[in-house]
Structure 1
Amino acid sequence: MDRPLISVLNGPNLNMLGLRQPQVYGRATLDDVEQLCAQAAERLDIAIDFRQTNGEGELISWVQECHGRAQGIIINPAGYSHTSIALLDALLAVDLPVIEVHISNIHRREAFRHHSYVSRGALGVICGLGVQGYALALQAMTDIILSEDTQ
């Protein structure tokens, strides 16, 4: 049996992790996050497709590609969380379980970061736990997928 595929999608500026505001986001790089996810995937016996883009349209296209291909989506939409109704619409259209991840606690930051359009399309949100939030999201998504398979 093939391992379930979970898409791990990352939005704008996450390619600057480790350099951009380390007091907020820490010193881990996006490569470190990808390694963390790969190790978690191995432990959980799942496959991941890890991607990052600065483009909203590309991120939306990647979400759409998940339909019929992936069993779940973990997304750190970054700044698009607070601005992109189009991204929310894409997540709702693919009808897959979604977990939203933020490295920082968006609720302890500027007021404009407190609202996320993407959250409306997510089963759950993990924020403020640093890059470890990705591993937690992979564990949660695996549990969700396995529970769906047994129903």
Structure 2
Amino acid sequence: MKTIYVLNGPNLNLLGMRDPATYGTQTLADIESNCQKVADRLGLELVFRQSNHEGELVDWIHEAGVEVAEANSVGVVLNAGAYTHTSVALADAISGAFVPTIEVHISNVHAREAFRGHSYLSPVAAGVIVGLGSYGYELGMQALAHLAEE
């Protein structure tokens, strides 16, 4: 069974408590539970992780890249949080590991502060989903499964 990685960056462990008007009331555990249902439906094994540390996210992207190269994974759904707007290291990890990646944001980053409109990840991502709440994770997972079939 192939894996699908769903990786979450800084402060996403605070979902459900942090600014519910922007991020909703679902917790990260709620999102993980939903992602597990989607993975089951797609016939994929879910690897769901969160870290507030950039280097750990880089390591997990590298891990996913090895799994993709060995045909054991379809890729990564990545909500990098604020690292989206600051991390050349994550962008380099995605392109260097040749890992298909769907960038996901719960909120519509383009309707918020101007700095959130810039992403270092978008140019190396297979696709970007913004502003659809936690449903964006499901769409990202479906997109990766579809891309892996092509």
The alpha-carbon deviation at position 138 of structure 1 amounts to 0.7
5+ residue gaps in structure 1?
none
> Which 4+ stretches in 1 moved above 3 angstroms?
none
- The equivalent residue for 2:117 is 114
C-alpha separation between the residues in 2 aligned to 1:136 and 1:90?
23
3-state SS of the aligned residue for 2:94?
A: helix
RMSD across aligned positions (CA):
0.8
Which amino acid in the other structure matches residue 121 of structure 2?
V
CA offsets 1:81-112 (integer angstroms, 9 cap, x no match): 00000110001011021100000000000000
C-alpha separation between the residues in 2 aligned to 1:90 and 1:57?
10
The alpha-carbon deviation at position 67 of structure 1 amounts to 2.1
Which amino acid in the other structure matches residue 91 of structure 1?
I
TM, length-normalised to structure 2: 0.94
5+ residue gaps in structure 2?
68-72
The alpha-carbon deviation at position 24 of structure 1 amounts to 0.0
**Contact 2:9 2:51 (C-alpha < 8 Å) held by counterparts:** yes
**Match runs of 1:47-126 below 5 Å:** 47-69=45-67, 70-126=73-129
C-alpha separation between the residues in 1 aligned to 2:132 and 2:120?
20
- The equivalent residue for 1:11 is 9
- The equivalent residue for 2:39 is 41
Identity among equivalent pairs (%): 50
C-alpha separation between the residues in 1 aligned to 2:64 and 2:143?
18
C-alpha separation between the residues in 2 aligned to 1:41 and 1:7?
10
C-alpha separation between the residues in 2 aligned to 1:98 and 1:58?
17
C-alpha separation between the residues in 2 aligned to 1:12 and 1:96?
21
Farther-moved stretch of structure 1 (8-17 vs 66-75): 66-75
CA offsets 1:15-68 (integer angstroms, 9 cap, x no match): 000000000000000000000100001111111100000001111111111122
- The equivalent residue for 2:149 is 146
